[in-house]
Amino acid sequence: LPAGAVSLRLCSTRVTLEGINKPVIDRIIRVDHAGEYGANRIYAGQMAVLGRSSVGPIIQQMWNQEKDHLKKFNELMVAYRVRPTVLLPFWNVAGFVLGAGSALLGKKGAMACTVAVEESISDHYNSQIRTLMEEDPEKYKELLQIIKQFRDDEREHHDIGLEHDAEAAPAYSVLKTAIQLGCKAAIFLSERI
């Protein structure tokens, strides 16, 4: 390493903070951590209502993947020295309320929530992938691999929601639009605060 370079251990590779676009990486990791935290809280709310129903195992399976995502972003926050959003206490409550509230509409309501959230998150991940590719795909290779994998997982959750009658939820298009507007606001705020 050149004199003064900082290197941190991350998985099997080394992250050198020197030369990265710190504001861009901070924003990406902060918002993705917040998003995965919120997703965990949404699934916790859905499980609180529907955990013992026929759809409980499906929700649990998706939640387990979100737990893995959150764990990875917790590690990335340390490796890249990124502070979390100050809004985590709000996302804690809001995520759980959204999950439980949509689940109170029944299986279809919970799945409509899943479709709306996961579509928003996978689109957001695609935007981040484009940003990192424009920055330097080789420099951000590991981060790109992580985001691409998580995007694919979110797409899978979206498709699971559709397979389980999300579109048959009461006022599906209104519900989906409202949730996605909330997601856009959460993304905007979590990147910055």
Domain ranges of the chain: 22-191
The per-residue pLDDT for range 79-91, each reduced to its tens digit, is 999 999 999 999 9
Q: Return the pLDDT at 3.
A: 43
Contact status, residue 119 vs residue 182, Cβ threshold 8 Å = no
Q: Residue 27: pLDDT above 70? A: yes
Give the closest residue to 179 by CA, choosing from 113, 85, 90, 99: 113
Q: Residue 182: pLDDT above 70? A: yes
Contact status, residue 42 vs residue 113, Cβ threshold 8 Å = yes
Mean pLDDT for 158-171 is: 97
Mean pLDDT for 104-111 is: 98
Confidence of residue 17 (pLDDT cuts 50, 70, 90): confident
Tracing tokens 């298009």 back to the chain, one arrives at: 173
Q: Return the pLDDT at 15.
A: 61
In this structure, whether the domain defined by 22-191 belongs to CATH 1.10.10 is answered with no
Q: What is the mean pLDDT of the chain?
A: 93
Confidence of residue 19 (pLDDT cuts 50, 70, 90): confident
Rounded to two decimals, the pTM is 0.90
CA distance 135 to 137: 7
Give the closest residue to 193 by CA, choosing from 71, 96, 85: 85
